[in-house]
Amino acid sequence: MSGAAKYSVLEHLRDGRPIEVRALHPSDKDGMLAAIGRTSSQSIQRRFFGPKKGFSDQEIAFFLNIDFERHVALVAQIDEDGRAAIVGGGRYIMVAPDQAEIAFVVVDAYQSQGIGTILMRHLTILARKAAVKELVADVLPENTAMLKVFGKFGFRPASKRTFQVVHLALQLA
Ligand SMILES: CC(C)(COP(=O)(O)OP(=O)(O)OC[C@H]1O[C@@H](n2cnc3c(N)ncnc32)[C@H](O)[C@@H]1OP(=O)(O)O)[C@@H](O)C(=O)NCCC(=O)NCCS
């Protein structure tokens, strides 16, 4: 397992509140499920490209059992009245030898405060360290916030095109 499994940095929301960006731990199941419970159906739909009533044990295990080599996941954690709460997450998964697919979700109440951008920045740092050559992402065309974040990092439309989904790619090397 790489050093990414111990990743932890302090960041700040636009309003100055501190957040920790850290590696997702196997013990984060309750925190992750609590975050999903606070996320609107529209946001879930934008993340998973369809309505989701819940997650199977198999899906939850997939999301939590990260090897930090082929699958790297970070969360954004904030202090809410003395309790640590996960309010966003991002991950990349290797889909080809040098290519990883990246995706995010931020709890609605914390969207548009910079968390998506911060997670993107740190996942890019980890991907570069791991010598990933290309990041790719699929985004729904109406997902202005996600398109904006990817645009800031230089993602460009990829040649592959399918109806109703925007395919983006960023060359890292
Ligand atoms: C997409 C998502 C991850 C972005 O996270 P975030 O924490 O809101 O992102 P940030 O705050 O860093 O940046 C969002 C940007 O979009 C802008 N934005 C948000 N909603 C917008 C809208 N409807 N129209 C135009 N711009 C919008 C914000 O102002 C911000 O831009 P700025 O940095 O120039 O101010 C988050 O909105 C989310 O979880 N959405 C639902 C899940 C999802 O879509 N996942 C993507 C799957 S690949």
Determine the atom of ligand 1 nearest the C-alpha atom of 120.
Answer: 12
pTM assigned to the model: 0.97
pLDDT at 143: 96
Are 134 and 94 in contact by the 8 Å Cβ rule? The answer is no
pLDDT at 153: 98
Task: Find the range with the poorest average confidence among 51-60, 97-106, 127-136.
Answer: 51-60
Name the average pLDDT for the chain.
95
Ligand 1 midpoint to CA 98 (Å): 27
The β-bridge partners of 93 are 71, 101
Mean pLDDT, residues 126-150? 97
Ligand 1 midpoint to CA 1 (Å): 31
| 103 C-beta closer than 6 A to ligand 1 | yes
Kindly tell me the sign of the dihedral angle through the C-alpha atoms of 77, 79, 84, 87. Answer: negative
163: pLDDT confidence band, cut at 50, 70 and 90? Answer: confident
pLDDT at 35: 97
Ligand 1 midpoint to CA 146 (Å): 5
Are 166 and 147 in contact by the 8 Å Cβ rule? The answer is yes
Place of tokens 């609605």: 108
Torsion of CA 147, 148, 154, 160, to 10 degrees: 10
Mean pLDDT, residues 47-75? 94
Q: Candidates 112, 117, 121: which one to mutate for ligand 1, based on the most atoms within 8 Å of Cβ?
A: 112
Assigned fold of 3-136: Aminopeptidase (3.40.630)
Tokens in use for 88? 């966003």
For 89-127, the pLDDT digits (tens) are 999 999 999 999 999 999 999 999 999 999 999 999 999
